[in-house]
Amino acid sequence: MLRGLARAAARRPGTLWTRGSGSGTGVLAHVVDLRSDTVTKPGPAMRRAMAEAVVGDDDYGEDPTVRELQEKAAKLLGVDRTLFVPTNTMANLISVMCHCQRRGSQILLGQECHLHVYEQGGVAQVHLLARSYGARVHLDGARLMNAAVALHVPPARIVEHCDSVSLCFSKGLGAPVGALVGGPKDFIEEAWRLRKALGGGMRQAGVLAATALVGLADFEEVLLTDHQNAQRFARGFQELESPICSVDLAAVETNMVMVRVDGPPPEELCRRLQAVSADEVAQTGHAVRVLVFPWTERSVRAVWHCDVSAHDTELVLKKWGFVLRQLGP
Ligand SMILES: Cc1ncc(COP(=O)(O)O)c(C=O)c1O
């Protein structure tokens, strides 16, 4: 555990400071970026791993670091084989293309699932139709490790119900790029062909796989810390007792917090959280730019990750308190 924490500390880079925007132009502000867990920057451990990675041509299957990652991940996920790809979008698309090879194949997607909403219709040629019998199941595992940590189960326990899985390294696992697709041997052989056809065959990809290996080495400790920070925020938020914003504590299971907004438009709230002012410094003793996304018409999303510390979380709470006081009851 302690070794894990030390590794986690090595992965957490330093504070980001910036000149403030908004009414307090010129104030040196501390930035806490909660827009997504994709915004993390590789820390010293990952950069060292990249520099030291042993590489080969992965398009010929000759990169030892990629092979090490693929084998390690296959064991962790409890699948025959895995294949390293540039993005989770490609991992999902390859999986769908493998599963739906016959003309007229059908795919059933959740209304809000990423594959449907954000992945640019890559699977639009396949008709959407609810089909609950005899269908194969692909798991979009962009945040599979967060789920495993939150449920206190090995990732393979979740994957065992699926025919194929993707896993993303550039979200909570903190790597700059990379994902993989996993499944049975013949599925991965076909996935290899499709990866090439889609332009996803990479050469000395070991420099990237090395960062993914760092991400996998200590994921339990890192993600647990992210979840605890998100929980701490949610509890602290309730103590603010705001009449216009609220957090459903029971819904905070991993690294994401949805703040319900019943007052100003979420965009306005996000703008105020991002701005720094002399008033803020006078009242809180800090200048903090909190970056969050408006998520729906009535909510704002905040996502914890390895570049946000417990101290940052306290600063974020102070900033919310300040902004909510500004907005008044
Ligand atoms: C649930 C989910 N699936 C897939 C993706 C796509 O991942 P990538 O950006 O690596 O293509 C994302 C990206 O945020 C995601 O949140």
**Domain CATH number, residue 237:** 3.90.1150.10
**Boundaries of domain holding 182:** 56-204
Q: Using pLDDT thresholds of 50, 70 and 90, give the confidence band for residue 161.
A: confident
User: Among 69, 305, 35, 264, which residue's Cα sits nearest to residue 178?
Assistant: 69
Q: Using pLDDT thresholds of 50, 70 and 90, give the confidence band for residue 103.
A: confident
Please indicate, yes or no, if residue 119 is contained in any of the structural domains. Answer: yes
Does 154 share its domain with 281?
A: no
Angle at 98 between CA 97 and CA 102, to 5 degrees: 75
Over the stretch 218-270, which tens digit does the pLDDT of each residue have?
Answer: 999 999 999 999 999 999 999 999 999 999 999 999 999 999 999 899 999 99
C-alpha distance from residue 57 to each of 188, 190, 201, 226 (Å): 18, 19, 10, 35
Does 91 share its domain with 196?
A: yes
Over the stretch 172-188, which tens digit does the pLDDT of each residue have?
Answer: 999 999 999 999 999 99
Query: Which residue in the block uniquely carries the two structure tokens 């954000």?
Result: 118
Query: Which residue in the block uniquely carries the two structure tokens 């119900």?
Result: 161
Does 128 share its domain with 102?
A: yes
**Domain CATH number, residue 81:** 3.40.640.10
Number of domains in the chain: 2
87 lines ligand 1 (CB under 6 A): yes
CA of 143 to the centre of ligand 1 (A): 9
Please indicate, yes or no, if residue 210 is contained in any of the structural domains. Answer: no
* Per-residue pLDDT at 116: 65
Counting ligand 1 atoms within 8 A of each CB, the residue from 89, 96, 170 with the most, and so the one to mutate, is 89
Over the stretch 162-173, which tens digit does the pLDDT of each residue have?
Answer: 999 999 999 999
Q: What average pLDDT does the segment 124-136 reach?
A: 58
State residue 18 phi and psi, 5-degree precision: -150, 160
How long is the chain?
329
40 lines ligand 1 (CB under 6 A): no
The average confidence (pLDDT) of the chain is 90
Please indicate, yes or no, if residue 69 is contained in any of the structural domains. Answer: yes
Residue 56: CA count within 13 A, CB half-sphere: 11
Does 64 share its domain with 190?
A: yes
**pTM for this model (two decimals):** 0.90
- The encoded tokens of residue 184 equal 């049975």
State how far the Cα of 255 lies from the Cα of 172, in Å rounded to an integer.
Answer: 8
pLDDT of 128 strictly over 50: no
pLDDT of 15 strictly over 80: no
Does 26 share its domain with 135?
A: no
State residue 161 phi and psi, 5-degree precision: -90, 0
Q: Strands of the chain (E only): list them.
A: 17-19, 28-33, 81-85, 106-107, 127-128, 138-139, 164-168, 179-183, 245-247, 256-261, 288-291, 293-296, 299-303
Among residues 177, 204, 231, the one where a domain terminates is 204
pLDDT of 124 strictly over 70: no
Please indicate, yes or no, if residue 300 is contained in any of the structural domains. Answer: yes
Counting ligand 1 atoms within 8 A of each CB, the residue from 36, 88, 111, 166 with the most, and so the one to mutate, is 88
Does 6 share its domain with 35?
A: yes
Please indicate, yes or no, if residue 171 is contained in any of the structural domains. Answer: yes
Among residues 176, 204, 232, the one where a domain terminates is 204
Over the stretch 187-215, which tens digit does the pLDDT of each residue have?
Answer: 999 999 999 999 999 999 999 999 999 99
Please indicate, yes or no, if residue 209 is contained in any of the structural domains. Answer: no
Pick the atom of ligand 1 nearest to 92's CA.
4
Does 70 share its domain with 31?
A: no
State how far the Cα of 170 lies from the Cα of 150, in Å rounded to an integer.
Answer: 19
Percent of the chain predicted with pLDDT > 90: 79
Contacts for 309 with CB less than 8 Å, ≥ 6 apart: 12, 229
Among residues 204, 229, 255, the one where a domain terminates is 204
179 lines ligand 1 (CB under 6 A): yes
Does 198 share its domain with 274?
A: no
Q: Is 110 exposed, middle or buried (0-12, 13-18, 19+ CB in 10 A)?
A: exposed
Please indicate, yes or no, if residue 260 is contained in any of the structural domains. Answer: yes
* Per-residue pLDDT at 209: 98
* Per-residue pLDDT at 22: 46
CB 235 within 8 A of CB 320: no
Does 161 share its domain with 78?
A: yes
Does 90 share its domain with 196?
A: yes
Q: Using pLDDT thresholds of 50, 70 and 90, give the confidence band for residue 1.
A: very low
256 lines ligand 1 (CB under 6 A): no
pLDDT of 130 strictly over 90: no
Pick the atom of ligand 1 nearest to 87's CA.
10
168 lines ligand 1 (CB under 6 A): yes
CB 324 within 8 A of CB 237: no
Pick 58 or 4 by higher pLDDT: 58
CA of 227 to the centre of ligand 1 (A): 19
Over the stretch 302-316, which tens digit does the pLDDT of each residue have?
Answer: 999 999 999 999 999
Please indicate, yes or no, if residue 49 is contained in any of the structural domains. Answer: no
Within 198-309, where are the H helices?
A: 206-217, 219-240, 266-274, 278-284
Does 192 share its domain with 300?
A: no
